[in-house]
Amino acid sequence: MRQTDKRVKKLNDHRTLRNAERRAKSMRVSKPEIGVLEVGMVVRLEIQYSDGVGSKVRPALVLGVDGDQVQVRAFTSSVQSAGPAGVSVEPSDANGLTRRCYIRSNSITVSANSILEILGRLPLEILLEPSSSAAF
């Protein structure tokens, strides 16, 4: 087996393992009911990639709920991905985050079915503050 074939196999094995871990984790948690979702909640959800192929599980801040559609701002660990208006959020018991994240500046609308669990809460005022960091 050539060196490049070994690398491809190792990469595919790693992806398979990560996908299996994500599926197992999402099965352990019961999904919240739509009526439970409120503005200001921090949730973990599955976000589809913009090209429509694949998805990623990440935390997000709920901005609004309309039936089974939920408007959110996703979190990212990258300052560059957050955009110019991204807000830094420190982890805490209240918000359920495990490391510093940045709230992206753009909001998206997702199906409530894509929400895997509720992590915690954040006050929406942090989106209005000019400071770049919030610890709640």
Question: CA-to-CA distance for 45 and 114, rounded, in angstroms?
Answer: 5
pLDDT tens sequence across 83-133 = 777 788 999 999 999 999 999 888 999 999 899 999 999 987 777 655 444
CB-CB contact of 65 with 41 (8 Å): no
> Which residues neighbour 116 within 8 Å (Cβ) at sequence distance 6 or greater?
26, 29, 31, 43, 44, 45, 46, 57
Structural domain boundaries of the chain? Answer: 1-30, 32-135
- For 43, counting Cβ atoms within 10 Å of its Cβ (0-12 exposed, 13-18 middle, 19+ buried), the class is buried
CATH number of 32-135: 2.30.30.110
Rounded to two decimals, the pTM is 0.69
